[in-house]
Each structure stands twice: as C-alpha cells, then as structure tokens.
A and B are shown apart, each in its own frame.
Chain A
Amino acid sequence: GQQLNQSPQSMFIQEGEDVSMNCTSSSIFNTWLWYKQEPGEGPVLLIALYKAGELTSNGRLTAQFGITRKDSFLNISASIPSDVGIYFCAGPGNEKLTFGTGTRLTIIP
C-alpha cells in the first residue's frame, strides 16, 4: 500500500529559527495536505496543495508540492512557542487520507 515517510522524525530548535521538513511517497499523489496535531487534539489542516510545483503560504508556513508528485515540503519561518506539535503530511486517494509518519517539533526555550 501507499506509504508516506517524513523526515526528520523529530526536531529540537530554538525560538526564532526556521524549520524545514519533508514528506516522500512510494507513489504519486495529486493533492498534498499538511496537518498539525497538538497533544490531546485532532489534526488541524494547515495547507492544501493541488498542483505539482505549487508553492503555497499560510502566514509563516510555506509548503511546496514536489515536481515528481511523490514529495512535499513544509517550511516554518521564525518559529514561535505555539508551533510545537506533530506535523503530518497526508495524501488522499480511494476515499481516504494516508498520513505520514509525522515530524515532532520541540522548541527549546
């Protein structure tokens, strides 16, 4: 079945630093979604990408849909404490979303 691998698995950064993470797939997706999940909560949709090569921003977040359609990237600029959480990529298909393995972001005071 489809697998989405995210890297890095976890990140420890200082407030104000920029963050980059990526997601790779064993198969092609026509849409990429990025979610953030905080402890005890459901995932929150951050950005949706619909076209290969597309670059989309949402505030300090920027995501890109890879040209091969097998990968996507998420960048967070000037991180702040509320950015802490687990970031998941997800790809739709066959009536479901397939989620990546997640990247846990921790901000060091």
Chain B
Amino acid sequence: DAGVTQSPTHLIKTRGQQVTLRCSPISGHKSVSWYQQVLGQGPQFIFQYYEKEERGRGNFPDRFSARQFPNYSSELNVNALLLGDSALYLCASSLVTGLSYEQYFGPGTRLTVT
C-alpha cells in the first residue's frame, strides 16, 4: 500500500513569493495534518483537516492556509514568504480525529526561501 505522498520534494522560492505544497494521504485515511520542521528541531503543528474542515490550527500567522479536497488530499499555501519559512514541511495522515494519535508522515517538502 502506498504511504503518504507529498509534492514537490524540493522547492526554492524568493522572499515575498507564494508557495503551494501538496499531500495525498494513505488510502482510507480521512484526516490530514501539516507540520513545519526547522533544522535541528522537532516538527511543529500547523493545521489539521478532517472531512474538508479545519479541526486544529497551530501558532502560525495568517500567511499560512490550507484546504482539504473531497478525495482527502490537501494543499498547504504560504503567502509572502520570509527567510524564516525555510524548513521541511511534513504532511501526516490518520484514520481518526479527535484523538490525533498514530499519524503517519510523508517524506516532506524541503522549502528554501532566498
């Protein structure tokens, strides 16, 4: 069975630009979460979506937004990119929400902002 897939794998953007990252969950998983991982740190929660609705949001500015599609895939958008947005962006899927345990992660998208 395919795991969580993310695209693109790497991305280089300039300050002020906008970026869209994509994620496809494990088949049968209806919940998708996004995390940002800065080098040397653990992942930090950005959003959780379940059944196309936002169920949780981390401490990130409004420049970050996301959505979930009817097929449960998801996109993360970041506007007005800053140098500090450079990080590995991870998508995770899970079977249930409410209890966000057993999240399965994709390989991530490495975003570099110059």
Chain A contact residues, CB within 8 Å of chain B: 4, 31, 33, 35, 40-45, 48, 88, 90, 92-102
Give the interface size class of chain B: 20 to 34
* CB within 8 Å for A94 and B105 given contacts A42-B4, A100-B42, A101-B42: no
Which chain A positions have C-beta within 8 A of B25?
none
Kindly list the 4 A-B residue pairs having the minimum CB-CB distance in the complex, ordered from nearest. Answer: A95-B56, A99-B42, A42-B105, A96-B45
* CB within 8 Å for A99 and B103 given contacts A42-B90, A94-B56: no
Which chain B positions have C-beta within 8 A of A31?
99, 101
* CB within 8 Å for A97 and B103 given contacts A42-B108, A43-B43, A88-B42: yes
Which chain B positions have C-beta within 8 A of A90?
42
In the complex formed, the residue of B with least CB distance to A99 is: B42
A-B contact count (CB 8 A): 67
Tell me whether chain B's interface is mostly helix, strand or loop, or mixed: loop
Instruction: With both chains docked as a complex, state the minimum distance between the C-beta of B6 and any C-beta of chain A, in angstroms.
Output: 8
Are A42 and B106 in touch, CB under 8 angstroms? yes
Which chain A positions have C-beta within 8 A of B45?
96-98
Decide if B15 is an interface residue (CB 8 Å cutoff): no
Decide if B73 is an interface residue (CB 8 Å cutoff): no
* CB within 8 Å for A95 and B101 given contacts A42-B90, A101-B42: no
Decide if B33 is an interface residue (CB 8 Å cutoff): yes
Instruction: With both chains docked as a complex, state the minimum distance between the C-beta of B55 and any C-beta of chain A, in angstroms.
Output: 5
How many angstroms between the C-alpha atoms of A85 and B106 in the bound complex?
17
In the complex formed, the residue of B with least CB distance to A93 is: B100
Sample (10) of A-B pairs whose CB atoms are under 8 Å apart: A33-B101, A43-B43, A43-B90, A92-B101, A93-B100, A97-B35, A97-B103, A98-B45, A99-B42, A101-B42
How many angstroms between the C-alpha atoms of A100 and B101 in the bound complex?
15
Instruction: With both chains docked as a complex, state the minimum distance between the C-beta of B10 and any C-beta of chain A, in angstroms.
Output: 10
How many angstroms between the C-alpha atoms of A99 and B100 in the bound complex?
13
Decide if B48 is an interface residue (CB 8 Å cutoff): yes
Are A48 and B48 in touch, CB under 8 angstroms? no
In the complex formed, the residue of A with least CB distance to B91 is: A42
Are B97 and A95 in touch, CB under 8 angstroms? yes
